[in-house]
Amino acid sequence: MKNNVEVEIAGQKYNIKGEESNEYLIRITEFVDGKIQEINNRYADMNPVKAAILAAINIADELHKLKDDYESATEKIESRADELNNIMK
């Protein structure tokens, strides 16, 4: 079932639809709005489209760093599990 929620991002209202709960959709849009606000606070005269693009780049950077950290942690866990498995043989 699709959920539908009205949110405000950078002063603009949007209807967001998704499979996730309304609370989740609101939390995600508040996160995006917060990132745009951070850019606007740093660069008050920045064009709203440029602020949104810069926020998107910052979010993508965070995502990819977290993915890299996750992959690294997964590899370490698998390696340790293999070591422990070999010890127990």
pLDDT digits (tens, 9 = 90+) for 62-82: 999 999 999 999 999 999 999
pTM over 0.85? The answer is: no
What pLDDT was estimated at residue 1?
A: 75
Give residue limits of the domains in the chain.
3-88
Residue 33 and residue 3: Cα distance in Å, rounded?
Answer: 20
How many of the other CB atoms lie within 10 Å of CB of 36? 23
Residue 82 and residue 62: Cα distance in Å, rounded?
Answer: 30
The closest alpha carbon to 28, from 7, 55, 48, belongs to 7
